[in-house]
Amino acid sequence: MKSTTVRGKKRNGEIHNQYIIIGTEPFFADHTIQEFKKRLQVDESFDLDTFYASESSVDEILQKLYLMPFSSSRRLVVVKNLEDLDYTALEKFATLINASASHNCLILTFTIGKDNAKHARVAKKLPALFTNAQPMIYEKKTKKIRKYIAQRSARAHISLSESMLQYLEDEFSNDITGLENELEKIENYCAEAGVMKLTNMQDLAKGLSDFSKYQVVNAFLDGRRETLQYFEELLPYLKSDAEMVYALTQGLLYRAQRSRKQRKVVTEILAQMSKVDQKVKGGSHFGDLMLELLFLRYAPVFRKGAFYG
C-alpha cells in the first residue's frame, strides 16, 4: 500500500476513515493532525477525542469512534503512541480496528524512537497490520526541513539569509521538534532584537542550548556561583518566569527524594518557591528579582562542604 498525504487527498476532496502516521518525529504527526482538523472543520469541543494507546482500552476508543458527530461533518478520533504497545497487543488492537465500520475519521500514530531497531522493524509491518488505514510515512529529508524553515520564517515575517538557513538545517536536521522550539524562540527574539546576522544566530543557538532551564537548576542544586549568571543569560528566552519556577520545583523534588539530609532545607525552599509562584501567576513584574534573591540566598546551602541547612 502506498503512503499518502493530506495534501494529496485535498486535490480530490477525499478523506479516508482511517490513517496511520509513521515517523521519527512526533512534530510531523501533530502537524498532520492539525491539517485534518482544518480539513474536516472539526469542532474540538465536541467532536475531537485524543487517546494514548497504552493508557486507553479499545472499548473506550471504539465507543468514541462510533459516536455521531455533534456539530461537525465527522468526528476525529486520534490514538497516539502505538509504539508503547508490545507486538501481541498491537496485533489484537489492529484486528478490532480493522473490523470497524465507522465513517468517522481515525488517526493512529507510531513514532520510531531514535536508533530503536525494534520500532523500525514493527513500523515496516504496520501497513499490512492495519489493513484499512492509509499509511502516512514521514522520513527525514533535507529538502523538507529546509522548506519547513523557510515557510515558518515567512509566516513570522522573518527574513533569513542562505547562511542562516544552512546553519539551522545543519544544527537541527536530526531534531525536528527541537527545531520547532528553536524557531519559536527566534521569533520572540526577533520581535525584541530586530534583524539578526549569522553570528547573532550562532550566539543565540549556543545560548539556548548551553543555558537551558535545567542547567540553571543543576547549577543551583550544586551550589555553583555561576547560577545567577546562567539565569541572567537565560532570561531573554523565557516566555514566563513560571517556566523557571516549574523547572526549579521539579529539581528540588528530585533532590528531596535522593537526599534525606537535605529534605529540611528543600522543604524550606519549596515554601519560598510557592510564594514566588503565586506572585508570578498573579501577574507580578518582580518574578525575575524574586528568583535572583532565592538563588543568592540558597545556592550556598548546596555548595560542597558548606551544607548547613
Total number of domains in the chain:
3
Burial of 306 (0-12, 13-18, 19+ CB in 10 A): exposed
CATH number of the CATH domain containing 281: 1.20.272
* Block residue for cell numbers 519549596: 270
Give which of 45, 105, 111 is closest to 77, Cα–Cα.
Answer: 105
Task: Answer yes or no: do 73 and 160 share one domain.
Answer: no
Task: Answer yes or no: do 32 and 92 share one domain.
Answer: yes
- Is the CA virtual torsion 283, 289, 291, 293 positive or negative? negative
Task: Answer yes or no: do 246 and 183 share one domain.
Answer: no
Residue 128 domain-assigned (yes or no): yes
Rounded average pLDDT per 10-residue block, the chain, 309 residues: 44 79 83 88 90 92 92 93 93 94 94 85 93 83 66 72 67 61 67 54 51 76 84 79 83 76 80 83 79 84 52
Task: Answer yes or no: do 105 and 147 share one domain.
Answer: no
Residue-level pLDDT at 49: 94
- pTM over cut 0.85: no
**Could you tell me where the DSSP H helices lie in the chain?**
6-12, 26-40, 58-65, 87-98, 117-129, 142-155, 162-172, 176-193, 198-210, 213-221, 227-234, 241-258, 263-281, 287-302
What is the grid cell recorded at 95? 484486528
- Which one of 85, 113, 138 terminates a domain? 138
User: Could you tell me if 21 and 107 are in contact, meaning their C-beta atoms sit under 8 angstroms apart?
Assistant: yes
Residue 307 domain-assigned (yes or no): no
Residue 233 domain-assigned (yes or no): yes
Identity at 121, one-letter amino acid code: R
Residue-level pLDDT at 8: 41
Residue 133 domain-assigned (yes or no): yes
* β-strand pairing of 18-23 with 134-138: parallel
Task: Answer yes or no: do 243 and 275 share one domain.
Answer: yes
Residue-level pLDDT at 290: 86
Strand partners, 109: 21
- Which one of 210, 233, 262 terminates a domain? 210
Q: Which domain holds residue 277?
A: 213-302
Strand partners, 134: 19
Residue 1 domain-assigned (yes or no): no
What is the grid cell recorded at 102? 465507522
- Which one of 210, 231, 256 terminates a domain? 210
Task: Answer yes or no: do 129 and 155 share one domain.
Answer: no
Give the C-alpha distances (Å, rounded to integers) separating 211 from 193, 217, 280, 303. 19, 10, 21, 20
Task: Answer yes or no: do 13 and 132 share one domain.
Answer: yes
The residues, any chain, with a CB within 8 Å of residue 128's CB and separated by 6 or more, are 1
Give the C-alpha distances (Å, rounded to integers) separating 254 from 11, 291, 295. 52, 19, 18
Task: Answer yes or no: do 264 and 152 share one domain.
Answer: no
Task: Answer yes or no: do 176 and 97 share one domain.
Answer: no
